[in-house]
């Protein structure tokens, strides 16, 4: 008698870490049980003419809860994730209150329970107040690591001085994520934005030197502390050239926004809707980011999903906040880049699944292999569709990519063996759970 599985994804083209293969995927108890040819299951999803990718892992999202839930919350943010094929998110600590204590982390975990649509973990913010406790805090269940803001962005979480950053890096063992902009240079150059009130000056205020100086400082301090770091949303050719020589200690993230939008056109067309930190820069820097993606300098794609209301974004620059929704559009945008030949599908899967798993030592996620969680994004590489504000599930209700037609679309999302989205329809109830991490994280 044929073995009966919980779920079979049948007739699909599957992107595994060993290559692209035509195979069925059998699922039992929320995990991948086998790859091959199967016919007996409680549920069968026909994936003929579709590709099956590991569920995307977005390791940089801001879901604004607690304290700023008029923009987003853990329910709407994770709903937006599964609508776009993202099955795991790492949420940032610049909420209100800041996530810098065990109590604040536990509060987020409690809030996410029975409300999150995808799996999740939370960063602890690193600051002078908790520096001596970080080694303990980073090992708490539900914590994905430590995040340091070297330059001010949204919120008050900041560690700008070298001695503070060094003390944070010396406390603990896990890889530390950093927002690398130099705070002193940001403060000294803010007059540029305040004088012009023109968002086209955003990359002039937060210039290349502001980013490069901070990334260089971060690597120097990481070497002094003997601590591996992960540099978020790198935006400049100069940083990529520098970081290419420091891959032993620093992994690198880029965002689809910086790979897709370019200055000055994006500011002229979108105004403050294109404002984010670090800024969208010109095509010279964008081309360098693409070179770094293809050369293997970049390890991870993250959305930096950081929504604000339209009313907040409509304020006169620089009172307008930096940030935009991104978790739902990360996969469609990048599938479109695949269709245009800018990167291969295998490389995209590495950046959105294998890479995050390696960098953060995530347990049982990021790969289509026996024993791993049955998290999948089922995509149609030949489907052309327009991204629209109406499609966006985020509470903010807008995307800078409204009206953009892309080639490649997410048809369905599977979370630990449960079909949670199919053809834009959200299925069932929130089933997200806490992400686990490999024991080897302790030896980084």
State yes or no: pLDDT of 321 exceeds 70.
yes
Q: Is the peptide bond before 97 cis (omega within 30 degrees of 0)?
A: yes
Beta carbons of 200 and 166 less than 8 angstroms apart = no
φ, ψ for residue 197, nearest 5 deg: 55, 30
pLDDT at 442: 45
| 238 is a catalytic site residue | no
Please pick, among 304, 336, 373, 380, the residue that the annotation labels catalytic.
304
Residues 6+ apart with CB under 8 A from 103: none
Tens digits of residue pLDDT in 285-308: 999 999 999 999 999 999 999 999
Tens digits of residue pLDDT in 123-182: 999 999 999 999 999 999 999 999 999 987 555 588 889 999 999 999 999 999 999 999
HSE toward the beta carbon, residue 155, CA cutoff 13 A: 25
CA pair distance 388, 106, nearest whole angstrom: 35
Beta carbons of 307 and 64 less than 8 angstroms apart = yes
Mean of the per-residue pLDDT values of the chain: 96
Q: In the block, which residue shows the tokens 């003390």?
A: 167
Least confident among 1-15, 24-38, 205-219, 244-258: 1-15
Q: Taking the alpha carbons of 67, 180, 146, 172 in that order, is the dihedral positive or negative?
A: negative
- Kindly give the residue spans of alpha helices, DSSP state H, lying in 84-155: 102-112, 134-137
φ, ψ for residue 443, nearest 5 deg: -105, 5
DSSP β-ladder status, 300-301 and 250-254: parallel
What mean pLDDT comes out for the span 56-84? 98
Q: How many helices (H) and strands (E) does the chain have?
A: 15, 17
Residues 6+ apart with CB under 8 A from 35: 14, 16, 21, 23, 24, 25, 26, 368, 370
Instruction: Read off the DSSP letter of residue 11.
Output: E
Task: Give the helix/strand (H/E) hosting 44.
Answer: strand 41-46
pTM: 0.97
pLDDT at 444: 39
Mapping DSSP to helix (H, G, I), strand (E, B) and coil, where does residue 112 land? helix
The residue extents of the domains of the chain are 5-52+370-381+402-426, 56-366
Tens digits of residue pLDDT in 362-421: 999 999 999 999 999 999 999 999 999 999 999 999 999 999 999 999 999 999 999 999
What mean pLDDT comes out for the span 246-254? 98
As a whole number of Å, the CA-based R_g of the chain is 21
Residues 6+ apart with CB under 8 A from 209: 182, 185
Q: In the block, which residue shows the tokens 């089933």?
A: 431
What own/partner pairs with CB < 8 Å and gap ≥ 24 does 195-198 have?
197/316, 197/317, 197/318, 198/317
DSSP 376-438: EEEEEEEEEEE--GGG--STT---TTTT-EEEEEEEEEEETTEEEEETTEE-SS----B--B-
Tens digits of residue pLDDT in 230-240: 999 999 999 99
Q: Which residues of 258-287 are buried (b: 16+ CB within 10 A; e: fewer)?
A: bbbbbbeebbeebbbbbbbbbbbbeeebbe
Beta carbons of 211 and 239 less than 8 angstroms apart = yes
Beta carbons of 389 and 398 less than 8 angstroms apart = yes
Beta carbons of 4 and 33 less than 8 angstroms apart = no
In this chain, the answer to whether the domains covering 5-52+370-381+402-426 and 56-366 adopt an identical fold is no
Joined tokens for residue 440: 């080897």
CA pair distance 307, 284, nearest whole angstrom: 27
State yes or no: pLDDT of 440 exceeds 60.
no
Mapping DSSP to helix (H, G, I), strand (E, B) and coil, where does residue 148 land? strand
What mean pLDDT comes out for the span 95-111? 97
**Which CATH number is associated with domain 5-52+370-381+402-426?**
2.30.40.10
Homologous superfamily (CATH) of 56-366 is: Metal-dependent hydrolases (3.20.20.140)
Q: In the block, which residue shows the tokens 């086998």?
A: 34
> Whose CA is closest to 323, among 345, 337, 307, 338?
307
pLDDT at 183: 95
CA pair distance 116, 428, nearest whole angstrom: 12
- Of residues 2 and 66, more confidently modeled: 66
Joined tokens for residue 432: 């997200």
pLDDT at 3: 75
């Amino acid at each position: 008698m044929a073995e009966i599985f919980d779920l079979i994804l049948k007739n699909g083209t599957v992107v595994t870490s060993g290559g692209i293969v035509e195979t069925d995927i059998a699922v039992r108890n929320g995990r991948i049980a086998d790859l091959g040819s199967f016919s007996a299951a409680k549920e069968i999803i026909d994936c003929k003419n579709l590709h099956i990718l590991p569920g995307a892992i977005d390791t940089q999202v801001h879901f604004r809860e607690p304290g700023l839930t008029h923009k987003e919350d853990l329910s709407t943010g994770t709903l937006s994730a599964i609508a776009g094929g993202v099955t795991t998110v790492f949420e940032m600590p610049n909420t209100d209150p800041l996530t810098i204590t065990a109590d604040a982390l536990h509060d987020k975990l409690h809030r996410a329970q029975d409300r999150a649509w995808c799996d999740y973990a939370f960063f602890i913010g690193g600051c002078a107040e908790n520096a001596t406790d970080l080694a303990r805090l980073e090992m708490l269940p539900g914590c994905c690591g430590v995040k340091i803001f070297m330059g001010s962005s949204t919120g008050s979480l900041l560690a700008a001085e070298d001695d503070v950053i060094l003390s944070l890096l010396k406390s603990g063992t896990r890889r530390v994520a950093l927002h690398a902009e130099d705070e002193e240079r940001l403060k000294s150059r803010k007059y540029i934005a305040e004088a012009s009130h023109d968002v086209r000056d955003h990359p002039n205020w937060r210039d290349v030197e502001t980013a490069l100086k901070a990334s260089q400082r971060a690597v120097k301090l990481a070497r002094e502390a003997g601590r591996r770091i992960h540099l978020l949303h790198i935006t400049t050719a100069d940083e990529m050239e520098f970081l290419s020589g420091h891959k032993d200690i620093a992994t690198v993230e880029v965002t689809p926004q910086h790979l897709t939008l370019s200055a000055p056109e994006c500011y002229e067309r979108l105004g403050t809707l294109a404002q984010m930190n670090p800024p969208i820069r010109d095509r010279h820097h964008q081309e360098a980011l693409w070179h770094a993606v293809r050369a293997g300098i970049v390890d991870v794609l993250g959305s930096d999903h950081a929504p604000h209301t339209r009313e907040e974004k409509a304020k006169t620059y620089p009172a307008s906040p930096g940030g935009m929704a991104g978790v739902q559009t990360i996969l469609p945008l990048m599938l479109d880049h695949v269709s245009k030949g800018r990167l291969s599908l295998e490389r995209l899967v590495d950046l959105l699944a294998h890479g995050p798993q390696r960098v953060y030592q995530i347990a049982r996620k990021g790969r289509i292999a026996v024993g791993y969680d049955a998290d999948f994004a089922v995509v149609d590489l030949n489907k052309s569709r327009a991204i629209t504000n109406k499609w966006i599930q985020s509470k903010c209700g807008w995307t800078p990519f409204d009206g953009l037609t892309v080639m490649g679309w997410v048809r369905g999302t599977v979370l630990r063996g449960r079909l949670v989205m199919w053809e834009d329809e959200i299925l069932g109830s929130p089933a997200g759970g806490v992400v686990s991490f490999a024991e080897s994280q302790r030896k980084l």
